[in-house]
Every structure is written in C-alpha cells, then in structure tokens.
Amino acid sequence: MSLNKQENLSVILNKPLDIVLENRPIPTLGKGDVLVNVKATGICGSDVHYWQHGAIGSFKVEKPMVLGHESAGIIAAVGEGVKNVKVGDRVTLEPGAGCRMCDYCKTGRYNLCPDMVFAATPPYDGTLCNYYRHPADFCYKLPENVSIEEGALIEPLSVGIHAARRGNIQSGHRVFIFGAGPVGLLCAAAAKAAGAGHVTIADLVPSRLAFAKTYYTDSQVLLERSTPGEPNIEFSRRMAQAILKTEEPADVVIDCSGAETCVQMSILLAKNGGCVILVGMGASVQSIPISEVSSREVDIRGIFRYSNTYPTAVRMISSGIVNVKPLITHSYPLKDAVKAFQHVKEGRDGAIKVQIIG
Ligand SMILES: [Zn+2]
Ligand SMILES: [Zn+2]
C-alpha cells in the first residue's frame, strides 16, 4: 500500500473558537492496531462544546486536538496479529478503548476504566481525519445492508441502548424523555427496541417535536421556559403537574438535557418505584426534590457513555429494528468542516445529525 505521508487532512481544534485543517502524519501501527480510512463522522454536541469552550467538566483542551468520535470507514492497513478485520472491510469505530487489565474492563464495564483512551477527549486525538489508528478489537464490521453513514450513527445509538439497559426498560413500559436532539431521539428508538409500550418526548423547540412525531415516539410535549424570578423547583412542580394532566407517570424517565428543571421534572414524572436515567450533562451541582426520591423509591442512575453496545447496535440497524437514516439531515465534505460545525451550533434548517463525509 502506498500512502502519501502528506495526505492525512485532519480537523484540529487549536484553542477555543479556532478550528483549522492541517495535514498530520499518517500514524504508524502497533501490534493489534488498524489504520482506518475514515469516511463518515457525525458532529456531536460535545465536539461543538470543546470548540466553543475548550473544556467539558474536568476535560480541558490544553494542546491542539483532532475533533470527532462518531465515525465509520474502511480498513486501509492492519498491524501484526489482527484477525477480526482485513484491508477493505467497512467498519464502525467504537471510539473508546479501556486498558483491558483493570476490574472494570474485566467485568465488562470498561466505560468506567480509569485509563480509558477516548477519541476527542483531551488529551487524545479524535477521528475527524483521513487516516485514524485504532485498536482492531474496537472496530466492528458493517453488514452489506448497513451504509457507512449509518455506521457513523452507532456511537450515539449506543448511548440510547446503554440508557435503556441502565433503566431496565421492559416490554410495555412507559418511558418519558427530555430533549428531542439526536441522543433523545435515539433513546426513544432504543426504548422502543427494548419493548417500551409508550414513549413520550419533551422539548422546548416545536420543530424538533414535529420531527420526533415521526420517530419512535407516541406523544410529544412542548415545554415552556421557566419564568425569571420563579424558583426552579416551583416551576418544575407546576410544569410536571400540567404534563401529568395528559401523561401517566413513567416507569423510566430519561433526561438528555442536563437542565436542572428537567432533572427535577424527571423525578416528579417517574412513577412510584420508577427510575430516572441521567444522560445529559448540565451544571455539575444541582438541587433535586430528594423527599420524592425517598418516599416514592425513585432510583436515579447516571450513565457514562456505554459498553458492549456496538454489536447489538449493528444488528438493530441491519435487521431494521432501528432506522437511523432519517436522522442524517445534512452532510459536508471534510474541507468544509468549519461550516459543518457552524451549522450544528446554529441548529438551523431542521438540522438533527450533521455528518462530515470523505
Ligand atoms: Zn457523541
Ligand atoms: Zn481498564
């Protein structure tokens, strides 16, 4: 294989608000690694957050970093000992690899590994480049009937699958979701795939709800903005009461917004003995109606990314249980990456998932 050393165009965040396209060297492969020619990458809210603010929680961008972590592509080269994939295979990339040595890795909860290497989480480079080096065991072959663009949606679908598993969603369950962005919609799809009998989704933006109406949800709730001066908990109680006029309390509530009022409402909308799953990342300290949690035995569970979801997600898409295609609303070539980021930030033209192609 002859790869021109100058042909690894990469989308690099130099510092907050400063994205540049630069050629980086094509990585050399170690034992068990593969080189992936990245063909499709979805832009995630976290990429936009790093671009705008340079940090998420304790993860700070301290040196230039390649962005992107929702990718699929074609195997361009394989390192020593690689058996599961070969050159030319179309694969989806699970962007985080654990150490494979600690208790968390060994017990299958590798998302909690303290030595996790995750694409586009500082200090590790992301996948928005022509050639990305990755451990072969975190690459999954795509069946013929799954496109590379669909393969790039397996990362956010994994969040939905992990949320459904953590919430122990059972057949017939009522599920209520806050946030009708890509992750909220994929939580709805995963909840339905797990057998949910009724999925409700809530958002502040009517156009998002109009889309959600066509995508794995049974009812849609338009949220109001809290009124200035009204304490959050009072607003949340008022809003939850209004919602409960038309919706029954839910077995599982999934918050994909991170907003304090939505976390509060999640607890208020869960039925006695129900479960609240926190997917969204908002303020690091929030107040919650804890007496509701105690007196009604509401379980609150955090989720951090996902583990062991990729093979499931590939089969869900291949079998038609989940259709991710309608979520891909816009695509841009790699050279127009900055325009693509701008598009996601503005959320205009009904953008749901914006992808960078080629
Ligand atoms: Zn993401
Ligand atoms: Zn580990």
Read off the pLDDT of residues 121-180 as tens digits, 9 standing for 90 and up.
999 999 999 999 999 999 999 999 999 999 999 999 999 999 999 999 999 999 999 999
Q: What is the pLDDT along the chain (358 residues), one digit of tens a residue?
A: 455 545 899 999 999 999 999 999 999 999 999 999 999 999 998 899 899 999 888 889 889 999 999 999 999 999 999 999 999 999 999 999 999 999 999 999 999 999 999 999 999 999 999 999 999 999 999 999 999 999 999 999 999 999 999 999 999 999 999 999 999 999 999 999 999 999 999 999 999 999 999 999 999 999 999 889 999 999 999 999 999 999 999 999 999 999 999 999 999 999 999 999 999 988 989 999 999 999 999 999 999 999 999 999 999 999 999 999 999 999 999 999 999 999 998 888 889 999 999 8
Q: What is the pLDDT of residue 58?
A: 84
Query: In 43-89, at which residue ranges do the beta strands (DSSP E only) sit?
Result: 55-56, 59-60, 65-66, 70-78
**Position 59: which residue type?**
F
**In angstroms, what is the span from residue 10 Cα to ligand 2's centroid?**
28
d(CA 259, CA 181): 14
Residues contacting 231, CB < 8 A, separation 6+: none
**In angstroms, what is the span from residue 100 Cα to ligand 2's centroid?**
5
**In angstroms, what is the span from residue 156 Cα to ligand 1's centroid?**
6
Q: What is the pLDDT of residue 1?
A: 47
**In angstroms, what is the span from residue 71 Cα to ligand 1's centroid?**
10
Rg over CA atoms, the chain:
21
Ligand in closest contact with the CA of 103: 2
**In angstroms, what is the span from residue 70 Cα to ligand 1's centroid?**
6
Ligand in closest contact with the CA of 115: 2
Q: Which pair of structure tokens corresponds to residue 167?
A: 């919430």
**In angstroms, what is the span from residue 249 Cα to ligand 1's centroid?**
29
d(CA 316, CA 334): 28
Helices (H) and strands (E) in the chain, counts: 11, 20
**Closest of 109, 84, 111 to residue 95, by C-alpha:** 111
Q: What is the pLDDT of residue 3?
A: 55
**In angstroms, what is the span from residue 97 Cα to ligand 2's centroid?**
8
Helix (H, G, I), strand (E, B) or coil at 313: helix
> Tokens 């303290």 identify what position?
114
> Are the CB atoms for 54 and 15 separated by under 8 Å?
yes
Helix (H, G, I), strand (E, B) or coil at 92: strand
> 46-76, pLDDT tens digit by residue?
899 899 999 888 889 889 999 999 999 999 9
Please, what are the domains in the chain? 9-153+324-357 (3.90.180.10), 159-302 (3.40.50.720)
Ligand in closest contact with the CA of 306: 1
Packing angle, helices 154-166 and 182-193, rounded to 10: 60
d(CA 16, CA 335): 19
**In angstroms, what is the span from residue 44 Cα to ligand 1's centroid?**
4
Residues contacting 193, CB < 8 A, separation 6+: 161, 164, 316, 321, 322
**Closest of 355, 316, 326 to residue 164, by C-alpha:** 316
